Structure 1
Amino acid sequence: MLFAAMILFFGGLYMVISQSNTMFLIAIIIALFILPGFTLVNPNNSRVLLLFGKYVGTIKKNGFYWVNPFFTKKKISLRASNFDSERLKVNDKIGNPVMISTILVWRVTDTYKAAFDVDNYENFVRVQTDAAVRKLASMYPYDNFADEGLDEDITLRSSVNEVSEDLEKEIQERLAMAGIEVLEARIGYLAYAQEIANAMLKRQQATAIVAARHKIVEGAVSMVEMALDELSKKELVDLDEERKSAMVSNLMVVLCSDKDAAPIVNAGTLHH
């Protein structure tokens, strides 16, 4: 068709100029009518074809094509697209406000659905992704705090893989009607909202301190028990219950203290 259009255009133009015959203008008009039918399809692109509002088909194979000049050609990309959502303020399962965003990798697989089942498929991806993130955040707590009576295996902060899988599944269900495949979905940003961030930071620090103290106390008790057992086995000193209690108290203070102990040397006897 490209060769025919060139022959008609240049041949008609030559005949009009050389023969001064306006009848050959018809050939030029036909060539100009043929030209709009040419279309170029690049790799990972497509052309959706319509004839007076009726769907005709889709060209997905890359190359140079000629179609009916009356066809309306709509371009839809088949390439993978990356979408980084805005940071949304939502409430987690226990009502704490958190800031969350998601990173989505998607592509069009069904051009008919993308072109005709939704108004604007790119905007549809954004809106439905935000809706899925809001729903997901309300299903899980941000973190698992023992003082709230929570016994959750999955949390937004610690269960990254599980949350990402659920998010990907939720978004895929929403975007299926638009002919869109979700390649990857994961949490891009997650933090407490500004109004409670300081309080939650102190709470996390307190939880960590309590857990550390618990381990320190366990270790101190074991060391005191070992010390008493060794003294008893080797019979280095005979301690009554009162002195054992004093020794345990002193050792616990030394082992559990935040600061280094300042030893006091007793220059007297054991009884004074």
Structure 2
Amino acid sequence: MIINELNRDGTVRVSDLVRLLGVSDMTVRRDLQQLQRDGLLAKVHGGATAVTEPASLEPTFEVKSRLRLAEKEAIARRAAELVRPGSAIAVSAGTTTHAFARHLVTIPGLTVVTNSVWVSDVLHRSGTEGANVLLTGGMRTPSDALVGPLAVSAVASLHLDAFFLGVHGMEPAAGFSTPNLLEAEINRALVRAARNLVVLADSSKWGIVGLSSIAGLGEADTLVTDSGLCAQANGILGERVGELIEVDPGDEVSEA
């Protein structure tokens, strides 16, 4: 709830959080201290402010997995509806794609290529019959993506129906981006291997620019995001991506 308030206003006050959460002043301050240690905010006198991320900052999977859970789940559920039984798809690393993978276990006959340890683990542990999972191999990043020459070579000769891509940021000039150079490289290879690019990104990714671009906004055949986009972002994305799907965390879906 603290992060949601911060994302909305850019700043939070201890006194306001005490009233909102119904907890003590000390509890709020301890929470702010922990969130600052996680790199999610900057403490100031009487409250906290949002931090401006360096383009090369790469949060860990554990840190990202605690953020915007309702939005990610709604996006994941809607994106899974785009997957046809028996298709060959690629799934990138990320917390939204990890949620997406949990919805793939009921779709029969899939071949799933992934450079995500977490995505592979979800599909393996589900015991889904008939699902073929190819884990690329490679070096492991802080976000638990497998990257490097081994990962890129593993997908070089593949022909996939769709690539479901999670991103660090999306912005008009930089397009879809990541703070990790090697992760951008494997994701670009998967974009080339797939007939369709489906991007899964919640609205908080708008305006964020990572160190390396993966694809331009116009290269996305479909973008699945949540209804929290500002009017400017909605207009730009609606014009550039092939199909913009906005989901409400309460499960209502609208399409543009």
TM-score normalised over the length of structure 2: 0.19
Higher RCO, 1 vs 2 (CA within 8 Å, ≥6 residues apart)? 2
Q: Which has the higher helix share?
A: 1
Q: Which has the larger radius of gyration?
A: 1
TM-score normalised over the length of structure 1: 0.18
